[in-house]
Amino acid sequence: MKKLIATLLLGAAALTSVPASAALRVFACEPEWGALAKTLGGDDVGVYVATSALQDVHQIQPKPSLIAQWRQADLAVCTGAELEIGWLPALAEKGNNPKVAPGAPGYFEASRSVQMLEVPTRLDRSDGDVHPQGNPHIQTDPRNIAKVARALTDKLVEVDAAHADGYRARYDAFAKSWATAVQGWETRAAPLRGVAVVSAHKSWAYLYAWLGIREVAALESKPGIPPSGAHLQEVLDTLKTQPAKMVVYAAYQDRRPVEWMTGRAGIASAQLPFSPGGADGTDELTGLFDVTITRLLDALAGKSS
Amino acid sequence: MSTFRYARFGAALLASAPLAAHAAAEPPPTPAELQQLRDELRALKSDYEARLHALEERLEHAESSRQAVAEAAPAPAVATASAPSGAAFNPKISLILDGGYADYSRSHREPDVAGFLLGDETDPRPSGLSLGETELAVEANVDQSFHAWTTLSVAPEGGIGVEEAYINTLDLPDGFSVKFGRFFSDIGYQNHQHAHAWEFVDAPLVYRAMLGTQLGDDGVQLRWLAPTDTFFEVGTELLRGASFPAGGDGRNGIKAITGFAHLGGDAGLDGSWRLGLSHLRADANRRPTGDEDEPALTFDGKSDLTILDGVYKWAPNGNATVRNAVLQGEYFFRHEHGELVADPDGSADLSRYRGDQQGFYVQGVYQFMPRWRVGLRYDRLFADNDVANAVPDSALDRLADDGHDPQRWSLMTDFSNSEFSRFRLQLSRDVSRPNHIEDDQVFLQYILSLGPHPAHQF
């Protein structure tokens, strides 16, 4: 047995001697922060994206590949606001990396830079899987992306001062082009103002607040509780008195309740990418919002996605 | 009239006496003097009235302004309620409720496994309706360097047990971490999971027969995680040796030691896997087997257990919300040698014993739609024991009964109303007892968790 342990330790020591690359290793909890870190970091960072737009980020397994990446990270960029509470604590406990432990300088929470919406006034599990600090899906409003970009630039400069000039230059370029892009999206999305919609999950508070879209119902009776037949029927009844134009859902969400609703209510559906990679052409952050607005406008014109 | 009232009357007379004496000494006042007195009194009266009025006004003003403050107060009160306070530093506390129903086609007065000596706390759930263990878990960061975790389990009949109470380091460099206190060992795959996270109502037969359901002990663990893209970690645990298969008297020094290595990674977008190899060497010194109060035998010797484990998890695009599957299996090899004492109190009735035992389980659990899962498990044990003086119908005889291989099939389905509540039905056919007794078992189980969001482990 002792021989076995000794052999394993020796083998492990041989593995560690692999030279680490010079770039700052960024562990991005969600694809939007991965894309943002790549934009701001350029060649100065190597980015690992832990989850994809096709996964429900509430329910990620702290799987071995994530623990191995956490161990090697110099900076972790996550949403925070308890979005990752089901798996991040396990990564931090198993990942043995004090550099990115929550509270350390190498741990960055995007939600700290923005004004949170839907902060609950009471905390009770009978209300479903509520987030005490507010709705964590902040990336659906591009103005939040701009705020996070500024804070993330400061963080990159702090942990990797040697490349400070590069981070600042890329941020300036990004901030300028982003402001123009936001104006473009707002002009295109003007017809969406005041439009009533049904959401699959309460994922879109920030998008709706930005574009002036009205949410009349959600397919989930409570956040995180899969829609039951009885609740879908209730939503259908609500739509008789408060008609909505479309059902909005994310790429990772179950299509079946959405199809049930669009079929019976005779309305369109809009499948939004939610995060970079959730649809073709959304690997970059600009593509994410281009496609989001195109699909909303399509659904308004009766074309489902 | 009571004496008391006479006394009061007397006192009043005495008090008024000087006044009467004074009045008698003075000459009666003239009409002019009387008028002057009346004027003075009137002036006094009006003066006091003015003052009283002023006082009344001030009082009224004070009252109205206080009301205004009271009306304005609720807003700041709400604002301060959400501000950080001492309560925000409270540790995370969660409570796990477990219970259900069990039915066995055969009586469980002697729940033995042929060819194996069992530890204590390996009995199956009681038949009928029953409460399982209620678990209270408390965790928090102690400071920037330590994190602490405690799980207290309350037995249904009362009595609190410390299931886990450990401290782990947060800021050791170079991928090292140390854990100390009482904890579930990291050998095998299922061993570190709390019972409420198991996929079936009961532990696999290999765990029940060779680890007394689960190995938890007091000690220190050192673990090192490699800085590689493929997950690789190694660790060792130095333990008191108070838990089966160690145990017994003389727990001075280190009486159990483990070593483990884990390798893991992804298999495409849909899958992830982990393989493990671990070993336990345990030292037993007159360790009772079976019932703690009436031990059938005591064991003196060494037990070496090697475990090979593997798990593969699948979900389309890695999204486990709608559909997912978990396939896991573990193979146990054990070698034991030492002496058994059949009559600990009487004459030293020694039996030499050498045992080579093996066993495995494989199980698959499939979530076919949100909230609903089905699972199938197969358990098997093999024993090749060499027992001297195996007296018929004794515990020694049951240990020597290595001719038939205990096995079990289990089928389960469960429904999770949310991430915090789960209800399970399990059917098992158990052929693990001596004489090929077939036992058909039915279990209903509920597992509810109160408190913060549970952190899942792989």
User: B328-361 pLDDT, tens per residue?
Assistant: 999 999 999 999 987 655 566 788 999 999 999 9
- Residue A16 covered by a domain: no
Q: Does B26 touch chain A (CB under 8 A)?
A: no
Token representation of residue B263: 């390798």
Q: Does A303 touch chain B (CB under 8 A)?
A: no
Residue of A nearest to B224 (CA): A96
Taking the CA atoms of A275, A280, A281 and A287 in sequence, report the sign of the dihedral they define: negative
Question: Domain check: are A139 and A208 in the same one?
Answer: no
Distance CA A61, CA B231 (A): 14
Neighbouring residues of B429: CB distance < 8 A, sequence distance ≥ 6: B408, B409, B438, B439, B440, B441
What is chain B's alpha carbon radius of gyration, rounded to the nearest angstrom? 39
Interface of A with B in 13-52 (CB under 8 A): 15-16, 18, 20, 51-52
pLDDT at B61 over 80: no
Question: Could you say which of A67, A90, A98 has the minimum Cβ distance to residue B170?
Answer: A98
What are the DSSP calls for B341-402, one per residue?
A: ES-SSSS--EEEEEEEEEEEEEEEEEEEETTEEEEEEEEEEEEEEEETT--TTSHHHHHH--
Mean pLDDT (chain B, rounded):
84
The CATH number of the domain where A71 resides is what? 3.40.50.1980
**Counting Cβ atoms within 10 Å, is residue B227 exposed (0-12), middle (13-18) or buried (19+)?**
middle
Q: Which domain range does residue A27 map to?
A: 21-111+125-182
Question: Could you say which of B261, B263, B322 has the minimum Cβ distance to residue A254?
Answer: B322
Q: Does B91 touch chain A (CB under 8 A)?
A: no
Our CA-based measurement puts residue A178 at a distance from the nearest CA of chain B, in whole angstroms, of: 31
Q: Does A254 touch chain B (CB under 8 A)?
A: yes
Q: Does A4 touch chain B (CB under 8 A)?
A: yes
Q: Does B156 touch chain A (CB under 8 A)?
A: no
- Residue A116 covered by a domain: no
A contact test, residue of B194, B228, B415 with most A CBs within 10 A: B228
Q: Verify whether the Cβ–Cβ distance B226 to A5 is below 8 Å.
A: no
Question: Domain check: are A226 and A174 in the same one?
Answer: no
Question: Domain check: are A100 and A73 in the same one?
Answer: yes
Q: Verify whether the Cβ–Cβ distance B313 to A63 is below 8 Å.
A: yes
Interface of B with A in 432-451 (CB under 8 A): 450
**How many domains, in total, are found in chain A?**
2
CA-to-CA separations, B371 to A131, A230, A293, B398, B420, in angstroms, rounded: 21, 16, 33, 43, 11
Using one digit for the tens of pLDDT, what is the confidence trace for A157-172? 999 999 999 999 999 9
Our CA-based measurement puts residue A65 at a distance from the nearest CA of chain B, in whole angstroms, of: 5
pLDDT tier, A269 (very low <50, low <70, confident <90, very high otherwise)? very high
Question: Domain check: are A170 and A200 in the same one?
Answer: no
Residues of chain A positioned with their CB less than 8 A from the CB of B177: 96
Q: Is the ipTM of this complex over 0.85?
A: yes
Q: Verify whether the Cβ–Cβ distance B176 to A96 is below 8 Å.
A: yes
Q: Does A95 touch chain B (CB under 8 A)?
A: yes
- Residue A41 covered by a domain: yes
Q: Does A10 touch chain B (CB under 8 A)?
A: no
Give the number of beta-carbon pairs within 8 Å between A and B. 154
Q: What is the pLDDT of residue B75?
A: 37
Question: Domain check: are A105 and A132 in the same one?
Answer: yes
Using one digit for the tens of pLDDT, what is the confidence trace for B231-276? 999 999 999 999 999 988 888 899 999 999 999 999 999 999 999 9
The answer to whether B425 and B443 are in contact (CB under 8 A) is yes
- Residue A67 covered by a domain: yes
Residue of B nearest to A124 (CA): B451
Q: Does B51 touch chain A (CB under 8 A)?
A: no
Question: Domain check: are A136 and A226 in the same one?
Answer: no
- Residue A9 covered by a domain: no
A contact test, residue of B139, B234, B319, B449 with most A CBs within 10 A: B319
- Residue A7 covered by a domain: no
Whats the size of chain B, residue-wise?
A: 458
Instruction: Compute how many other C-beta atoms are within 10 angstroms of the C-beta atom of residue B46.
Output: 10
pLDDT tier, B23 (very low <50, low <70, confident <90, very high otherwise)? very low
Residue of B nearest to A93 (CA): B170
Q: What is the pLDDT of residue B175?
A: 96
Question: Domain check: are A216 and A157 in the same one?
Answer: no
The mean per-residue pLDDT over the stretch B388-412 comes to: 86
Our CA-based measurement puts residue A33 at a distance from the nearest CA of chain B, in whole angstroms, of: 19
pLDDT at B84 over 50: no
Our CA-based measurement puts residue A244 at a distance from the nearest CA of chain B, in whole angstroms, of: 26
pLDDT tier, B62 (very low <50, low <70, confident <90, very high otherwise)? low
Our CA-based measurement puts residue B89 at a distance from the nearest CA of chain A, in whole angstroms, of: 14
Question: Domain check: are A146 and A34 in the same one?
Answer: yes
Our CA-based measurement puts residue B453 at a distance from the nearest CA of chain A, in whole angstroms, of: 6
Q: Verify whether the Cβ–Cβ distance A101 to B454 is below 8 Å.
A: no
- Residue A11 covered by a domain: no
Phi, psi of B328, deg, nearest 5? -140, 150
Distance CA B174, CA B179 (A): 16
Question: Domain check: are A194 and A172 in the same one?
Answer: no
Closest of B91, B254, B89 to residue B165, by C-alpha: B91
The mean per-residue pLDDT over the stretch A222-235 comes to: 88
Q: Verify whether the Cβ–Cβ distance B453 to A82 is below 8 Å.
A: yes
Residues of chain A positioned with their CB less than 8 A from the CB of B137: none
Distance CA B150, CA B183 (A): 9
Our CA-based measurement puts residue B178 at a distance from the nearest CA of chain A, in whole angstroms, of: 10
Q: What is the pLDDT of residue B74?
A: 38
- Residue A144 covered by a domain: yes
Neighbouring residues of B94: CB distance < 8 A, sequence distance ≥ 6: B136, B137, B449, B450, B451, B452, B454
Using one digit for the tens of pLDDT, what is the confidence trace for B292-326? 556 668 899 999 999 999 999 999 999 998 899 99
Interface of B with A in 363-382 (CB under 8 A): 370-371
Question: Domain check: are A149 and A203 in the same one?
Answer: no
Using one digit for the tens of pLDDT, what is the confidence trace for A156-211? 999 999 999 999 999 999 999 999 999 999 999 999 999 999 999 989 999 999 99
Q: Verify whether the Cβ–Cβ distance A93 to B313 is below 8 Å.
A: no
Question: Domain check: are A219 and A284 in the same one?
Answer: yes
Q: Does B310 touch chain A (CB under 8 A)?
A: no
Task: Indicate the pairing of strand B146-154 with strand B160-169.
Answer: antiparallel
pLDDT tier, A8 (very low <50, low <70, confident <90, very high otherwise)? low
B233-263: burial string, b at 16+ Cβ within 10 Å, e else: bbbbbbbbbbbbbbbbeebeeebbbbbbbbb
Q: What is the pLDDT of residue A127?
A: 79
Q: Verify whether the Cβ–Cβ distance A226 to B173 is below 8 Å.
A: no
Question: Domain check: are A79 and A197 in the same one?
Answer: no
Q: Is B351 left (phi over 0), alpha (psi -120 to 50) or beta?
A: beta
